[in-house]
Chains A and B, each alone.
Chain A
Amino acid sequence: MQEDNFKPLLMGYLDSELTELESIRVEQHLEQCAECARELEEFRRLKEVTRNMRVATPDARSWDEYWSHVYNRLERRVGWVLVSIGAILILSYGVYSLIAKFLLRSDFPLIVRFGAVAIVVGFCTLLISVLRERLFMSRIDKYERIKR
């Protein structure tokens, strides 16, 4: 077996994850290869240094409440969708009222009406752009380009 192909097996040997046959093959190789034997010893030392250590783990309460946090976030998203729909309906009604009661009245100066139209058109353009982007993004799989 090539030396480089063999080295990862040292991990399995160190962690007792190999079959009996694989372990025998590793031991035979170690008898002949000083470099692998030295490296295995270094890995053993590393394991000894970090023995009885673990990365910070959330306390029991955090695990107990984990699902409820996920659930709350799921619910919150539904809430946000409903709020958005409501806001769009009310906003649409506001725009309609603005046009009917303000822009169509000739007693306001033309420049004020022009400014108001620009604001309304600009706002609607931004809103449509954001909605279109959201719609487009929801149709594609955001994770398909992620390589494991």
Chain B
Amino acid sequence: MNLADEGSLIERCKNGDREAFASIVNHYMRPAYYVALGYVGSPEDALDLSQDAFVNAFRHIKRFDSSRKFFPWFYSILKNLCMNHLTRERRRHESSIDEMAEEGSVPIPVEAINPEQSAVRRDLEVKVGMALRRLRAKDREIIILQHFQDYSYQEIADLLGIPIGTVMSRLYGARRALRRELEKLGVT
């Protein structure tokens, strides 16, 4: 979707056109989910929060400057919701350190593109999921988008509203961190 098409859809959204908003949602639902997954780690919560973020975006769409790209603005709404969710989760777990420690070890679900796989391969996926879980949310976000979902650098730059050079430097830091975590888990 180019900027002009998106701009005209946004203008229709500002007039309350929900069909136009449906086009925006269908176009961005996948990256929204992956960004949320990078922050919260749970697929169910990521789906739920990304949908909530679209609801909030529609409610505040009149404040949005339609000459700009939608996703970087939407991204700040989504990130805010994810951070609030994490804060609530942290508070909820404050009374139960054991439970928190247990949850901290729950890996991000990683699956094989080809479902036929050995037990060794499955074990590796769990370790990769655990390593992902231990990364900073910001590192996880870019790793999920590029490393695991094959978004191009240009697509990531457009989605997050950052230059391609920043995509590369963030990816460099995130991959180093992922490598370190995998080494700690015995994957070399």
User: Are the C-beta atoms of B76 and A62 separated by less than 8 Å?
Assistant: no
A–B complex contacts, Cβ < 8 Å, 16 sampled: A8-B168, A8-B171, A17-B152, A46-B179, A53-B128, A53-B148, A55-B37, A55-B144, A58-B43, A70-B25, A70-B55, A71-B18, A142-B80, A143-B80, A146-B76, A146-B79
User: Are the C-beta atoms of B18 and A74 separated by less than 8 Å?
Assistant: yes
User: Are the C-beta atoms of A15 and B153 separated by less than 8 Å?
Assistant: yes
User: Are the C-beta atoms of A143 and B77 separated by less than 8 Å?
Assistant: yes
Binding-face segment, B3-11, B85-93, B95-103, B105-113 = B105-113
User: Are the C-beta atoms of B22 and A67 separated by less than 8 Å?
Assistant: yes
User: Are the C-beta atoms of A148 and B76 separated by less than 8 Å?
Assistant: yes
- Chain B residues, CB < 8 A from A77: 55, 59
CA distance A73 to B111 in the complex (A): 30
Minimal beta-carbon separation of B176 from chain A (angstroms): 8
A56 at the interface (CB under 8 A from B): yes
- Contacts A53-B148, A70-B25, A143-B76; A11 near B43 (Cβ below 8 A): no
A35 at the interface (CB under 8 A from B): no
* Number of A positions contacting B (CB below 8 A): 37
Which residues of A, 65-116, contact B by the 8 Å Cβ criterion?
A: 66-67, 69-71, 73-74, 77
Residue on A nearest B168 in the bound complex, by CB: A8
CA distance A49 to B148 in the complex (A): 12
Report which A residues bind B (CB closer than 8 A): 7-12, 15, 17, 42-43, 45-47, 49-50, 52-58, 62-63, 66-67, 69-71, 73-74, 77, 141-143, 146, 148
18 other contacts beyond A141-B63, A143-B60, A146-B80, with CB at 8 A cut-off? A9-B168, A11-B175, A17-B168, A43-B179, A49-B187, A52-B112, A53-B113, A55-B37, A55-B149, A57-B111, A58-B43, A63-B29, A66-B25, A70-B51, A74-B58, A143-B77, A148-B79, A148-B160
User: Are the C-beta atoms of A62 and B47 separated by less than 8 Å?
Assistant: yes
Complex A-B, nearest 4 residue pairs according to Cβ-Cβ distance, in ascending order: A56-B109, A8-B168, A8-B169, A8-B172
Which residues of B, 51-65, contact A by the 8 Å Cβ criterion?
A: 51-52, 54-55, 58-60, 63
Q: Is the interface of A mostly helix, strand, loop or mixed?
A: helix
CA distance A66 to B124 in the complex (A): 31
User: Are the C-beta atoms of B175 and A58 separated by less than 8 Å?
Assistant: no
User: Are the C-beta atoms of A66 and B179 separated by less than 8 Å?
Assistant: no
- Chain B residues, CB < 8 A from A67: 22, 25-26, 29
- Chain B residues, CB < 8 A from A42: 179
- Contacts A11-B175, A46-B178, A49-B124; A148 near B75 (Cβ below 8 A): yes
Considering residues B30, B34, B54, B188, which has the most beta carbons from chain A within 10 angstroms of its beta carbon?
B54
CA distance A9 to B26 in the complex (A): 33
